[in-house]
Amino acid sequence: MDSYGEKQQEFIRNGSNYQTFHLPATEDTFEESLVDFRFVIALDPAWMESLRRIGSLTKEGRDSLRHQLILYWTRTEPKAEAIQTTIPGL
């Protein structure tokens, strides 16, 4: 996140930058970061299985990520029932 300007960081944090998904810092594992949908790549599942998992998104986090990805791809707000989300306020 440090490579982005203050205003851009604000857009990333509040979700108004459709090409990114904000990942807040955790207490002891992760620094604040983001997912940039412009740079999505395929990874070999065997390679992924060789790694040690150090964290994962909650159901609400996965729903939020899916929601932001749909916004990025379509530039339209998906209906809550279309993505079966539990995000409050949708």
- From first to last of its 90 residues, what are the pLDDT tens digits of the chain? 889 999 999 999 998 889 999 999 988 888 999 999 999 899 999 999 999 988 889 999 999 999 899 999 998 776 665 555 555 554
Separation CA 4–CA 40 (nearest Å)? 19
Whether residue 1 is contained in a domain is answered as: no
Q: How many domains does the chain have?
A: 1
Task: List CB contacts of 26: < 8 A, sequence separation 6 or more.
Answer: 55
Whether residue 73 is contained in a domain is answered as: yes
Q: What percent of the chain has pLDDT over 70?
A: 86
- How many other β-carbons are positioned within 10 Å of the β-carbon of residue 62? 13
For residue 51, give its domain range: 6-83
Whether residue 57 is contained in a domain is answered as: yes
